[in-house]
Every structure is written in structure tokens, then in C-alpha cells.
């Protein structure tokens, strides 16, 4: 399995729950050693897609392989080589960190259990807290424990579902440093998130909304592929400016980012014409800027329909 260049290759994955189509005709190809980001709002189908890819959920239709095995007929084999970190902490809170790892190691029938658990404690910085009850840990330490448990059986693929939700910024940064170290060692990582600042940490991004993939590309190419232009404005009276610009057909979206507005559109000249009347206002300071991933996502979301409406 280690010679595979494409770790995940699925086509047309679709999932219904009752009469609701939660995932709609989803294709995905993930190269070995990549950090692949699933970006989208809560309820967009990210978790369902991840579970279909790793064999935990049978698709209603569609086909493909994960680690060279069929996602439908060989799901049991896939699970032996995948580490899956769920959105909600799912280990045992009345056991210590070390006891949790020992229990998981027995489940995987890991040989040399004592040394493997000690290695996991050391690699994730958990040794000093090994005898602390999991239930008493903060979000960041629970995250480290969950990742250590995922890595005990040396998986070739890590599936991380909203792994940094509710975690402080320092712990999030440290977590992403660990993720890149794992990717550098050859582990392929599929991570779902709704944090836009985390998207730039990924080699590839798939934007997902309402069960549909909106775009799928290397993260460095996303903005150029969409072709969206952005102006940033700061100053006095931004609410009035925003209200007026939203009615201009050349303006795609007006969104507040901190103390500024970001004004976006697909027509560069039309967007400049729309903001020209405001450039003479000395209370407003305009600057053209490179469009960010968040503006792209807002743009893409505007063209999709809620599958639960």
C-alpha cells in the first residue's frame, strides 16, 4: 500500500438519509502525503463524506478506493490503516491518558504495547500528564490525546473531523505544526474545518456547501481560478456605504472584516466604477487587495441552494 501515489480516489459519492440528499455526487482525489482541507459551514456534509471515504458509512451510490481498497466492499481493510479523529472527544474520560492509550493499543492488537504507548506519550508531549484523568483535560490536551490514540497503529491516512473546534489559538497552532510533521513523514491527512485561517495550512482545499463540492484545487490556485476582485475600505460611515454598494449590480458582496469592509465583484472595471463615487470622501480609505479564501467561499456559497430547504 505504501507505493500508492493516490491515497483516496472516489467518484460520484452520494448519500441519502431518508429523502434528504446529504452528499451529492462527490468526487475526490487525494495524493499521498498531502494535507487536504475540507472547508465548509456546519451541516455541509463534510463529516458524512469523511465517513464514506474511510468505510464507516456506506454510500447510497458512487464508488472508489481508499488506500487501494474498495470503499464499499473492503471497508474493514481500510479501517486497519486509517486513524479517525472525531469532532467530539470520544475517548474515556474516567481513564487516565496512559490508560486510554493502552486500551486503544489493545484494541489494535499492537505488539510491544508498553514501548508504543510510551512513544505516543513522548511524541505528543503527554508524558508529564500520563496519569491525569482524560475528563480533567482542557480542549487542547484532549486534542493531543485523541491524536496520539489515532496514531498508535501507524496509520497511512489520518481523517480529522473539525479537530480544532473549541481549542485556543496557541493549541491550534501547535496542532497544525504536528500535522505538517506527520505529512512530511508520508502520512496523508484529510481535515475538515470551518476556520478560514486554517485553510491556508492545507496543500489542497475542497469547498463544500449543502452536500455539494463547489471547487477543488491546490490552495494556492483557488483565488485565481475563481477570478474575484476585492477592495478594502476603512473609515467613517461604513454602514451607509455598505448599504448603498449592496444595491450596485457590479458588487458581488460587501462583508465586514473587523473595522473594514471588503467589497468584491467578478468584473474588475465594473467594481472600480461602483466605488469611484466614494473615493473622493476623505473619511474613507480605499485599497485594492488580493482576494482571500473567505471572500471566495462567500462568493461560492451565494450560488448554491440549501439542500434542506
Domain total in the chain? 2
Q: How would you classify the pairing of strands 188-193 and 157-161? A: parallel
* Cβ neighbour number for residue 103 with a 10 Å cutoff: 14
**Residues 179, 269 within the same domain:** no
Tell me if residue 253 falls in helix, strand or coil: strand
- Supply 249's cell numbers: 449590480
**Residues 195, 284 within the same domain:** no
In DSSP notation, 27-47 reads EEEEETT-EEEEE--TTSSHH
List the chain pLDDT tens, one digit each, 309 residues.
Answer: 344 589 999 999 999 999 999 999 999 999 999 999 988 887 888 889 988 988 889 999 999 999 999 999 999 999 889 999 988 888 999 999 999 999 999 999 998 999 999 999 998 889 999 999 999 998 889 989 999 999 999 999 999 988 887 778 888 888 899 999 999 999 999 998 877 778 888 999 998 888 889 999 999 899 999 999 999 999 999 999 999 999 999 999 999 988 999 999 999 999 999 999 999 999 999 999 999 988 898 888 776 555 444
**Residues 266, 186 within the same domain:** no
**Residues 182, 254 within the same domain:** no
**Residues 188, 236 within the same domain:** no
- Supply 157's cell numbers: 491516512
> Burial of 6 by CB count in 10 Å (0-12 exposed, 13-18 middle, 19+ buried)?
middle
**Residues 58, 12 within the same domain:** yes
Residue 301 belongs to a domain: no
The pTM of the full predicted model, rounded to 2 decimals, is 0.84
Range of the domain at 207: 6-223
Is 193 within 8 Å of 38 (Cβ atoms)? yes
Tell me if residue 287 falls in helix, strand or coil: strand
What's the Rg (C-alpha) of the chain?
Answer: 22
**Residues 44, 171 within the same domain:** yes
**Residues 86, 135 within the same domain:** yes
* Cβ neighbour number for residue 92 with a 10 Å cutoff: 14
Amino acid at each position: 500500500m505504501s507505493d500508492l501515489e493516490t491515497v483516496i480516489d472516489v467518484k460520484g459519492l452520494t448519500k441519502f438519509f431518508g429523502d434528504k440528499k446529504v452528499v451529492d455526487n462527490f468526487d475526490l482525489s487525494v495524493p499521498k502525503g498531502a494535507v487536504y482541507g475540507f472547508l465548509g459551514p456546519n451541516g455541509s456534509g463534510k463529516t458524512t463524506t469523511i465517513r464514506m471515504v474511510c468505510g464507516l458509512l456506506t454510500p447510497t451510490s458512487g464508488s472508489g478506493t481508499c488506500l487501494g481498497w474498495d470503499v464499499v466492499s473492503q471497508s474493514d481493510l481500510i479501517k486497519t490503516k486509517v486513524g479517525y479523529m472525531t469532532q467530539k472527544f470520544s475517548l474515556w474520560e474516567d481513564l487516565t491518558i496512559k490508560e486510554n492509550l493502552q486500551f486503544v493499543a489493545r484494541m489494535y492488537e499492537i505488539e510491544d504495547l508498553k514501548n508504543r504507548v510510551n512513544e505516543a506519550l513522548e511524541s505528543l508531549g503527554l508524558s508529564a500528564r500520563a496519569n491525569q484523568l482524560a475528563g480533567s483535560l482542557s480542549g487542547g490536551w484532549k486534542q493531543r490525546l485523541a491524536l496520539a490514540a489515532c496514531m498508535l497503529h501507524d496509520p497511512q491516512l489520518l481523517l480529522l473531523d473539525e479537530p480544532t473546534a473549541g481549542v485556543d489559538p496557541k493549541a491550534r497552532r501547535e496542532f497544525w505544526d504536528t500535522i505538517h510533521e506527520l505529512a512530511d513523514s508520508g502520512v496523508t491527512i484529510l481535515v475538515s474545518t470551518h476556520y478560514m485561517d486554517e485553510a491556508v495550512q492545507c496543500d489542497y482545499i475542497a469547498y463544500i456547501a449543502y452536500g455539494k463540492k463547489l471547487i477543488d484545487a491546490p490552495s494556492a490556485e483557488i483565488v485565481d481560478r475563481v477570478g474575484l476582485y476585492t477592495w478594502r475600505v476603512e473609515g467613517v460611515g461604513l454602514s451607509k456605504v455598505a448599504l448603498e454598494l449592496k444595491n450596485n449590480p457590479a458588487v458581488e458582496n460587501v462583508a465586514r472584516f473587523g473595522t473594514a469592509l471588503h467589497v468584491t465583484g467578478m468584473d474588475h472595471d465594473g467594481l472600480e466604477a461602483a466605488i469611484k463615487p466614494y473615493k473622493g470622501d476623505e473619511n474613507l480609505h480605499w485599497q485594492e487587495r488580493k482576494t482571500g479564501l473567505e471572500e471566495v467561499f462567500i462568493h461560492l456559497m451565494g450560488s448554491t441552494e440549501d439542500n434542506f430547504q
